[in-house]
Structures are given as structure tokens and as C-alpha cells.
Amino acid sequence: MLAVFLLVLGIMTFGTGFAPPNEHIHRIDPTKVSETPPFDKPQLTKIGENEYKAAMVAYAFGYDPAEQMEIPAGATVHFEITSSDVVHGFQIPGTNVNVMVTPGEISHVSHTFEKPGEYLILCNEYCGIAHEMMKTTIVVK
Amino acid sequence: MTDSKLSTFDRKDGSLVIAHVLFAFGALLIGGIAGMLQGMVKGGTITLPAGIGYYELLTAHGVLMALIFTTYFIIGFLYSGVSKTLGGSLLPIARKLGWWGYLLMSAGTLIGVVVILLGKASVLYTFYAPMKASPWFYIALALVVIGSWLSGYGIFYQYRKWRKTNNGKLSPLFAFMSVITMLLWQIATIGVALEVVVQLIPWSFGWVETVNVVLSRTLFWFFGHPLVYFWLLPAYICWYVVIPKIIGGKIFSDALARLSFVLFLLFSIPVGFHHQLMEPGISHFWKYLQVVLTFMVVIPSLMTAFSLFATFEQSGRAKGAKGLFGWVKFLPWKDVRFFAPFMGMLIFIPAGAGGLINASNQMNAVVHNTLWVTGHFHLTVATSVALTFFGITYWLIPAVAGRVLTPRLNKLGIVQTIIWVVGMFIMSGGMHIVGLLGSPRRTAYNTYDDHPDAILWMPYHVAMAVGGIILFVGVLLLIYNVVALLKAPKGETEYPLGEVSEHAEPTPKYLENWKLWLTVTVVLILVAYTIPFIDLIGNTTPGSPGYVTW
Amino acid sequence: MHEDRSASKSHGAPSAPEAKEQSLKGTFASVMLLGAFLAATWIGVFILFVARD
């Protein structure tokens, strides 16, 4: 059993690189999402050589920005997401991007997209009648 | 105290037990219909008729299976053992509490099911805010919980009277374990009671505008994790106390068994954050601390596995078994009272392995909210616990109703167990794999606009539907068997209770020192939760209004 | 009384005359297999986790 423990402890020590998401607690008024930057204008912004920021809003039943997000292969995206209504999920299958999006809180997760393709971003937390249709995509060129 | 092996089970107590068991199986049947339909919808084989939503069915399935079937069977089973081992019959006050608990829970269940089927509470059995159901849904849940408290008080009362009249002697193992189980439940339900009564009911009625979402989730999972141990511990009671008798062996160690239950009491509760690992609003430090505590609660399960192997081996060798695994052949494979719980034990191995993975901090990102999680709990509660409960039924109904298990019913029980295992292997196996591929849980039929990832998932969803149908056949056979047991030939059936092996160490009295263990339990909870709760309650950011998104 | 308070014997170590009944070799082997299964599944998902980052 101790061996099992040590394994996990080992993970946590390099946990600064591989920690669970949402390191930093960041709150927001859930009724004022559309007025609070950066969520007043959800969009993808380039902030560095191969680095981007994506401010997104989850709602029943989709994600803003509605416009297709595109990035070059090898780019790192820092997602910053909140919900304007109920709890949603934000998951990119095939990657470790998998966070909850809770009203009143802002979720932070980052990922480097090495391979080109169209990545599915879906909601994996039941949020209502059209939950199974809630998705968007991000294109990596 | 020794009860004559064939002494008749108290008739009045028998009625209480049967009432609980039958309600449980009724819930299983309706929940099973819902489950099968869900599987078929996801597999693309049917669309639901107008007026029935997938998420309505899913809410009913979760509530009936995870809350009603389990709680009723558990309380019925525990009352049977408490009656049998603590004096041979329930004291009038205990029996009254048992019935009042039953009444309240049943009222709550009926109200809840009606509200769900009216489409006013499609919030799933976790009812996460700020999705806002009809206040009657929350009231129904509160009634179920309060009813279960009354049931627990009946058991505590009987136990305390026994201890007084037996001069503080070490209690019978079954009774000790029952008290631990209901204590665990009593403490755990404080979380969900606070959430429902203080936060959700006023908000749902409109007396309060907003709700603190992360706080509500944290209160729920304060309850939600020990809930699974509330399910597991009664199955362990069967494995520790009943199975040794059925295999013609002895309990390997009374002390080890009690110790494992004490450890469950200590470590099942301060671990709720491992269900919230991917959430914002809770710091890394507290998540990790609760992960460490979660790994501690793995230990009593490992102890149980050891105890069971040892019980089987000792019993086999006493009958002449040789070699490393010769004792396996000496187990009563053709006896459903052993076979069904044994399959539950065996399947607990992959079930527990999955749980270990789920709890592993950042590794949770691989599986969070995917069908892997659904696969996991269909192994733990829907197989290990459920098959054990089914196995118990084959002697429990005869023992308390003055009937006998016929060879024919025994055989049907074996068949039912095999059907269950096959169906679950296909369904849960499919869920585990497709979950790793990213398919989300709690989601109706979808292809995400024919995205290649989603197309890849379809064959597994079809397998899940097939497994679900097989399982439903298993449910039908089980219901048939239960009805047949009630109409089986009259006779005396022994209530199987194991005796402790002569080689076992004597049990230290401190294992039954409630003040000590309850204090440690409370201390651990305070350590794990105080600061996070202060942080959540002190949050000055406005809460969230309610939404009806279905 | 269900419990016998006979002289205690340590569970794991087989001692000479009682060795036949007390051997827990099969238990030891089973526990090792169980541990191996837990380790294997955990490591499997761990590898998946690291590969996806």
C-alpha cells in the first residue's frame, strides 16, 4: 500500500508541472459574466510566439466564441472559462483537458496542441435537455 | 450468547425485513427498466416516445438504484442481523423506529418518483445547483434521509440496550458492524441534509435568491463519498460474518474484521474532494490532502481481501486441501448463497482498481465525467454490492419467512448470477474502454455532428446497450426468484452466522471504544474540511440564481 | 459465545505442528496477484495520462 502512496506522492512532486487544473482560485459574479472582462468579449488572442489565450463562456447549450478558433500546430493555449448559467464541463477527448466550469468561478487549463486536426470540445457535465449537443471545436493547422 | 441454529426468526421482525427487501426489489425493477432504455437510446437502437426524456429516465434510474434499492435492502438486512444476534428479537421501540423510518422513506420515495416523472426534477441523483428542481423533489429527498435516520436510531437503541444488559461485553460481530454502518450514514448525511434543507429548499421555493454553488457541491460530496461505503459495508458484513458459515469454515479474525470497519468509519468521510478534483474554487493543497486520506480508506478493503483469502484457505486446508490453490476446489461453487457474493468479491478487484485510478489527483483528468466512471460504479455497487445482496436474499427471505431454498431456486439463482456477470462484463467493459477514449457520461445519443471521435465511440455504446439488455433479463429472473422464494415450501432455514476461528487473536476491547473512534472521526473531518468550508462560506462573490434547463 | 479466547497464534507464520492448518501460502500468493493487478492498471492509466500531455 505504501508503494502505491509513494507513487502518487511522486506524481505530486513534479506536480507543479502536472497538477490538477484550477491552481488559482478566481471568482466572478455569475450574473454579470457578459459585463466582466475578458468574458465580455470571448475570443482567442495571441499573446506570444506560439502562445494563445482563449477566454470562453459556457452556456446551455454551447460555448462562446461562436467563431471558429484556429491555431498553428505546436501552439499552447491557456483556456480561461466561466459559465453564465449552470455547471458545465469542458473536455477535449484525447487530451488531459477536462475541467468543470462552475458559475461564480473561473476555470484555468492549458494545453499544447502538437498535432494538427479538428479537436472536439464537449460538455461532459449534465446541464439540461440539450446537454448531448453542447460542443464546439478548435482547429489546429 | 448463542442462539440455537434453527430457532425461528421473530415473525414481527420478519415482516419488517421483508417489507424493506420487497420495496428494494421494486425499485430495482423500475430502475432497471429505465437503465435498459437508456442503454438502447445511446446505442442508437430506439428513440424514446414523446413525453419521456432521457434525462428524466436517468434521474429515476440513479435515484431508484443508488438511493432507494440500496438503502432499503441495507436497512432490512441490518435489522435482520440485529434482531438475530442482539437478543433474538427487536425491542418494541426499535421495531417501531424501523417502521416509522420505512414509512417516511417510502413517502419520500413516492413523492420523489412522481415529481421526477412529471418532468420537474430532471437534475439527476446528484441534483447539482444551480439547476433548480421543484421544491418537492428536495423535500422528498429530505424525507428519505430523515426516515433513514429513524431506522438508524432503532439499531442504536437495540445495541445500547444489549450492551447495558451484557455488561459491556464485546458485541456480536454483525451488530458491531451494523452500528458502524449506521453511524457512518448518520454523519455523512449531515452534509446532504445541510445542503438540501439550508440551501436548496429555501432557494427552490424562492425565499432566497441565490445559492453558493461550490459550497453546495462540497456539502453533497461530503455525503456522496461515504454513501458508497454505506453501500459497501453491508456487503462486507455478509463476506465477513455470513460467508464463513456458508462455506463450512470459520471467521479468520474477529479483531481484523472490526479494525477494518473502524478504519472505514474514520476514513470514508473526510475525502469528498476526490469527487471534485477537476473543479475550480478549491485549492490544490486540500484536494491533495483528501487524496492522501482516500488512499488510507483503500487499506481496510485490502485487509478485507486478505481476510477473505485467509478464511477460504484455512477452511479448505482444514478439509484436506493441498498445494498453493487447492483450497479453491473446496469452496461451495454450486451454492448460490456463496457463488453470488463470491462473484461480487471477484469483481471488486477491477472495481477497486478503477477507484484507485479515479482518486489519483491529476490522473483523474483522464477519466473525469467519462463513461469510465459509470463503468466503475456499475462494478462496485451494481455488481459487487448488488450480487452480494442478491446472494443474501436466497437465505434471508426463507430464514425470516419460515421457508426453504429449494434446489431448483438455488439453480435459478446461479443462472441469474451468471447472466448478471456476463451482462455487466459487456456493459461495464465497454464503458471503461469508451470512457478512456473520451465518451462523456450522463449524455443522451449524440455524434457531435459526426465528429470522428464520436463515431469511434458508437460500437462501444452498442455493446453497452447489449449488456444492458442482458442485465435486464437478469433483473426479471431475479424478481421471479424473489416471488418464488416468498412462495417456497415452508420450513426452517438457518440464519447463517460464522464463528470465529480458534487460531484468531482475541479482540482488544479498544476496538469497541466508541468515544475514541468517534472523536478521531470528527477530528479527521475537521482537519480535512474546516478551512475549505470557511473559505467557501466566507466567499463574498454573489451566488447563482436557479435555472430550469430541461 | 462466538469468540474463543484460546491462546493467540500469529496469523501469518506457520509454526511446526500447526503448519498444515495455518499455512497461508495461498493467501500470500493471492494478495500478491491482487497487488500486481492494482499496480498494472494504475500504471496503465498513468502512462496514458503522461502521453496525452
Query: At A118, which CATH number?
Result: 2.60.40.420
**Who has greater pLDDT, A21 or A2?**
A21
Question: For residue B159, what pLDDT is reported?
Answer: 97
Instruction: Kindly report the CATH number assigned to the domain that includes residue B82.
Output: 1.20.210.10
Overall average pLDDT of the A63-76 stretch: 95
Burial B492-521 (b: 16+ CB within 10 A, else e): ebebbbbbbbebbbebeeebbeeeebeeeb
Q: Which residues of chain B have pLDDT under 50?
A: 1-5
Q: Say if B506 falls within a structural domain.
A: no
Judge whether A6 lies within some domain: no
pLDDT number for residue C1: 38
How are the residues of chain A apportioned to helix, strand and coil, as percentages rounded to the nearest 5?
15, 40, 45
Alpha-carbon torsion, ordered B475, B478, B479, B480, to 10 deg = 120
Q: Give contacts of C42 with chain A, Cβ < 8 Å.
A: 4, 7
Residue B53 lies in a domain: yes
Total domains present in chain A? 1
C-alpha B233: how far from chain center: 8
Instruction: Say which residue, C13 or A98, is predicted with more confidence.
Output: A98
* Confidence band for A6, pLDDT divided at 50, 70 and 90: low
Instruction: Output the nine-digit C-alpha cell for B180.
Output: 458502524
Q: How does strand A51-59 pair with strand A98-101?
A: unpaired
| A10 in a structural domain | no
The contacts of residue B33 (CB under 8 Å, 6+ apart) are: B472
Residue B48 is assigned to a structural domain of this protein:
yes
Residue A1 lies in a domain: no
**Which residues of C lie inside 8 Å of B (Cβ-Cβ)?**
1-6, 8-9, 11, 18, 20-27, 29-31, 34, 37-38, 41-42, 45-46, 48-49, 52
Catalytic-role residue among B229, B240, B261, B264? B229
Compute the distance between CA of residue B87 and CA of residue B94 in angstroms, rounded to an integer: 12
Residues of chain C with pLDDT under 70: 1-21
Q: Does A7 touch chain C (CB under 8 A)?
A: yes
Per-residue pLDDT at B401: 95
Query: Which residues 1-40 on chain C approach chain A with CB closer than 8 angstroms?
Result: 38-39
Is pLDDT of A14 > 90? Answer: no
pLDDT of residue A19: 60
Domain that holds residue B117: 7-211
Nearest to B469 by CA among B8, B20, B93, B45: B45
pLDDT band at A22 (very low <50, low <70, confident <90, very high): low
**A97 assigned to some structural domain:** yes
Q: What is the pTM of this model?
A: 0.94
Contacts by B43-52 with C-beta closer than 8 Å and gap 24+? B43/B461, B43/B462, B43/B463, B43/B464, B43/B465, B43/B466, B44/B445, B44/B458, B44/B461, B44/B462, B45/B462, B45/B465, B47/B445
Is B355 among the domain residues? no
Q: Which of B302, B349, B500 sits opposite C3 (nearest CB)?
A: B500
Would A16 be classed as within a structural domain?
no
Non-local (6+) Cβ contacts of B391 within 8 A are B238, B336, B337, B338, B339, B340, B341, B344, B413, B417
How far A30 CA lies from chain C's nearest CA (Å)?
31
Q: Read off the pLDDT of residues B16-33 as tens digits, 9 standing for 90 and up.
A: 999 999 999 999 999 999
In a domain, A2, yes or no: no
For chain B, what is the domain count? 1
| Amino acid B120: pLDDT | 95
CB contact under 8 A, A4 and C42: yes
Q: Which domain holds residue A46?
A: 22-140
Q: What is the pLDDT of residue B118?
A: 94
| SS3 (DSSP) at A74 | coil
ipTM reported for the complex, 2 dp: 0.93
